[in-house]
């Protein structure tokens, strides 16, 4: 499947969900002081979390969002409403604690982990910046491959390694986040390949393109896919042809987390495209993924459908950074708390259902 020992070993470590833990969680749900199923998807989410973590009472006390930053050569084609310089500027904003993800992570009690995996600028050293630059941005995939196959492998391996480092610090729940001007363009290309939908059906306005800009973006992606003809059965080849370094790293984070039985709350359109790559590399990752929200990017819903996932929230978000995933942390924690803290009928002295 892959020429990378680390990727192969990580995939081999991803096991099916723990059926015994899920059965125990479901049995307890059925005894809690409520009609069975009355808390809907919070109940099924708690059972999924039990299966992921391999314990009947899952916990999500130690939370992190890993924000991967990288630039894209395809931005030179005018596919974004913002200049590429914004990527580096926003990374500095993350490090100062002033971005939306910082605010939302503080509210959720989650740490923000910022990694440069391919920003086109030289960022100043900072104690909270993890420097893992593969290259100063990808190449322009309108004219050639976005990256070499070796770089594609490195991108996925970088995500796996970042997750391993965070797991060593203590981690019960992780969210994927990203920053990279132009990155909805490679995400749309990946979405078109794996959903088998026309490019126009999975390509949105990104940071705010007008109608002419959107039409141009669609044409650029269509021409690039026609030029490269990447094979969906070769996800590293797809990443090499039309991907981004942060997309590969997101795939690695998903794989690394699943190998350690850590649930992954997947954020917006770009993060979902990274999760698609992870699932293409190793389908066993899918049960470890939690769809956080449905963004206004038109390709987001089709990706969730392709992954067999249903998002928890629908708030018309289109920011990225991990913002929607960290908002969903509250629901994930609620699911765990309901399961572990709510009284059973016997505990409360409440009569159960008749019959």
List the catalytic residues: 321
- Measure the CA–CA gap between 295 and 312, rounded to whole angstroms: 11
Looking up tokens 């994927």 gives 176
- Measure the CA–CA gap between 88 and 117, rounded to whole angstroms: 12
């Amino acid at each position: 499947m892959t020429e990378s020992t680390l990727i192969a070993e990580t995939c081999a470590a991803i096991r099916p969900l723990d059926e015994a833990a899920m059965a125990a969680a479901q049995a307890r749900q059925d005894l809690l002081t409520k009609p069975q199923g009355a808390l809907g998807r919070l109940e099924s989410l708690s059972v999924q979390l039990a299966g992921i973590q391999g314990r009947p009472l899952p916990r999500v006390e130690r939370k992190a969002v890993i924000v991967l930053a990288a630039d894209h050569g395809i931005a030179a084609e005018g596919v974004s409403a913002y200049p590429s310089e914004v990527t580096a500027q926003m990374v500095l904003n993350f490090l100062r604690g002033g971005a939306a993800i910082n605010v939302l992570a503080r509210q959720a009690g989650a740490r923000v982990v910022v990694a440069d995996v391919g920003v086109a600028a030289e960022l100043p050293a900072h104690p909270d910046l993890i420097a893992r630059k593969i290259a100063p941005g990808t190449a322009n995939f309108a004219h050639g491959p976005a990256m070499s196959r070796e770089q594609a492998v490195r991108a996925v391996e970088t995500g796996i390694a970042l997750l391993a480092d965070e797991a060593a610090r203590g981690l019960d729940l992780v969210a994927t986040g990203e920053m990279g001007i132009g990155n909805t363009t490679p995400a749309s290309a990946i979405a078109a390949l794996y959903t088998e939908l026309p490019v126009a059906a999975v390509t949105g306005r990104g940071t705010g393109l007008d109608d002419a800009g959107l039409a141009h973006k669609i044409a650029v992606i269509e021409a690039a896919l026609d030029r490269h003809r990447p094979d969906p059965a070769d996800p590293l080849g797809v990443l090499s042809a039309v991907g981004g370094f942060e997309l590969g790293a997101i795939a690695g984070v998903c794989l690394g987390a699943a190998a350690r039985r850590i649930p992954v709350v997947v954020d917006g359109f770009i993060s979902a495209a990274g999760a698609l790559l992870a699932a293409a590399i190793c389908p066993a990752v899918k049960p470890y993924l939690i769809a956080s929200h449905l963004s206004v990017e038109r390709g987001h819903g089709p990706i969730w459908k392709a992954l067999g996932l249903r998002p928890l929230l629908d708030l018309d978000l289109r920011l990225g950074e991990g913002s929607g995933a960290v908002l969903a942390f509250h629901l994930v924690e609620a699911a765990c708390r309901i399961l572990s803290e709510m009284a059973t009928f016997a505990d409360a002295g409440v009569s159960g259902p008749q019959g």
